[in-house]
Structure 1
Amino acid sequence: MCLAIPAKVVAIDELGENATVMLGEVKKEVSLALVDDVSVDDFVLIHVGYALNKVSEEEAEKTLRLFAQAGVTP
């Protein structure tokens, strides 16, 4: 089973090809090759180093709350 985790975009490189995302205290660089029109402060679903699509802040928070309730710490 695959799992995509919502994370907040905190920086985008000059070419717009990669973004730095935050998930809790963790920063990670991910590829934006699969997503268009991403900006700083957007939320994206990430999986194996790729942003898969944008999600709303509300949806991201809801998903992270469900992970927490299930005892999963992304």
Structure 2
Amino acid sequence: MCLAIPGRITSICDPDPLTRTGKVRFGGICKDINLALVPEALEGDFVLVHAGFAIARIDEHQAARTFDLLRELP
């Protein structure tokens, strides 16, 4: 089973389409994430991240729902 975690893009560091990276905030943690798979994502957008790669852009409501579900886990 794979788990993707939502995070918000705070900055885009490398705009090159093949090596596009950015800072993504997950609650209080900020990580460098590869954004090459979501070329449409912009600063401030929420993305789903798996293994260091943003794999999809999602809206704020979806991100909040996912965070709520994760908080319910034991």
Misfit runs of 4+, over 6 Å: none
**1:10 maps onto 2:13 in alignment:** no
Q: TM-score, normalised by structure 1?
A: 0.89
Number of aligned residue pairs: give it. 71
After superposition, what is the alpha-carbon deviation per residue over 1:9-43, rounded to whole angstroms, capped at 9, x for unaligned? 00001425001000011000100111121111100
Structure 1: stretches of 5+ with no match in the other structure: none
Q: Distance in 2 between matches of 1:70 and 1:15?
A: 36
Q: Percent identity?
A: 35
Whether contact under 8 Å (2:47, 2:54) holds in the other structure is yes
Q: TM-score, normalised by structure 2?
A: 0.89
